[in-house]
Amino acid sequence: MSAVCHRCGGTKALPLVPCPFCNVIPKGDERPVAWLFSSAHLDESELKLASERIRLGETPDPSQSLRALAARNLQPTRNNQTLTPRQQIGLIALNVGLTPLSGLAVWWGLSATRPRAAHQALRITVPVMIVFSAVWIGLIVTRLFG
Ligand SMILES: [Zn+2]
């Protein structure tokens, strides 16, 4: 893989690494732009042309759809992965066997990196929490007033 710095037009090995010429590290909204100027999106001659245009002072301003395409490509595929059926059964066992708090811990742990899997963990954990809470409240009420 090779890339062109979207700021100075210098050549670098990967789109998201610091530029050896201007030291810019693509962050936030610049990351998709940086990816667009890599061999993942452009061929060698297009990269060369882009480099020349940036060196001449042009500021890259890719369209929203190009930025969206880049953002999708930057997202590692595992981020979209859901929990496997085995993991779901394991999570149910954990919730019922230990405590629904373990399900919440799994949800919390996944929420930043795997939003779909985190949402699944929550969908499994919340009903168990409701049933557990009902049982506990029922037990307390019968002990106090029974
Ligand atoms: Zn640069």
pLDDT tens, residue by residue, 110-136 = 988 888 999 999 999 999 999 999 999
Instruction: Supply the mean pLDDT for the chain.
Output: 93
Span from the CA of 133 to the centroid of ligand 1 (angstroms): 57
* Band of residue 65 on the pLDDT scale cut at 50, 70, 90: very high
* Dihedral sign computed on CA atoms, order 11, 55, 23, 43: negative
pLDDT at position 81: 84
Distance, CA 15 to ligand 1 centroid (Å)?
11
- How far away, in angstroms, is 17 Cα from ligand 1 center? 10
User: Which residues are within 8 A (CB) of 67 and not within 5 positions of it... i.e. 6 or more apart?
Assistant: 29, 32, 33, 36
Measured in angstroms, how far is the CA atom of residue 41 from the centroid of ligand 1?
18
Local confidence band at 78 (pLDDT 50, 70, 90 cut-offs): low
